[in-house]
Amino acid sequence: MKDRTKLSERQRNILRFIENYIDSHGFPPTIRDIGKATGIESTSVVNYNLNKLVNAGHLRREARASRGLRLVKNGKESGRKSAQQTGLSGAQTLNIPMFGNIVAGQPVPIPEDMGSNPTDHVEVLPSMLRGADPSQVWALRVKGDSMIDAMINDGDIVVLRRQDTARDGEMVAVYLEGSNEVTLKYFYNEGDRIRLQPAHPTMQPIYVDPANCRVQGRVLSVLRLTV
């Protein structure tokens, strides 16, 4: 465990928030998330302190991504790793079904491989289920880059819990009944409409009628099987 006594109180608060956020969401917060949670209005001030934490060896940052933070513990990065990358045995992992692909971009017709039968299975750590019943957990491979600022890239795998409701700000797989399309987005209920928000600096939100929007599952965590 790295010594935190040399950090400022603000830096310790930022580090604690990042740790708690990753534990709760399975991916890192954005700079704006950090500022809001720690009472820092200036994103440049947040960025300055993040760089201090990087220099002190507590964090690593990935370029060109607003959620490109990785905690460093005992000299190793903590983040999204598959069971194969962690080297854990099968007894320490769970095997969950994967039902094909989901598009992180403009909604598209339901892919042929996103049916009722799993196309594959993937091994995950029990902690990635966030306490959910394993029988209610499933996975999809992401196509597209509309969620790139949530550290979800083309080819990544999202682990979801089956549910048909969502709270504002949750990342969900959504079926758009009127057009028979599916997409992966942040969910916001605005009363007379649902806002499906991408996590991409150049993409606009999608607005749909609540009657035509069916939540299929909430994202619990994300993993990348390739190095």
Find out whether 104 and 143 touch, Cβ atoms under 8 Å.
yes
Catalytic member of 42, 66, 116, 146: 146
Provide the 10 A C-beta neighbour count for residue 61.
Answer: 14
> In b/e form, how buried is each residue of 191-227, taking b as 16+ CB within 10 angstroms?
eeebebbbbbeebeebebeeeebebbbbbbbbbbbee
> What's the CA gap between 173 and 138, in Å, rounded?
11
Catalytic residue among 8, 116, 127, 185: 185
Can 146 be counted among the known catalytic residues? yes
**Which residue type occupies 110?**
I
Q: Which residues contact 139 (CB under 8 A, 6 or more apart)?
A: 96, 97, 98, 99, 122, 124, 157, 158, 159, 160
Which residues neighbour 13 within 8 Å (Cβ) at sequence distance 6 or greater?
38
Tell me the catalytic residues.
Answer: 146, 185
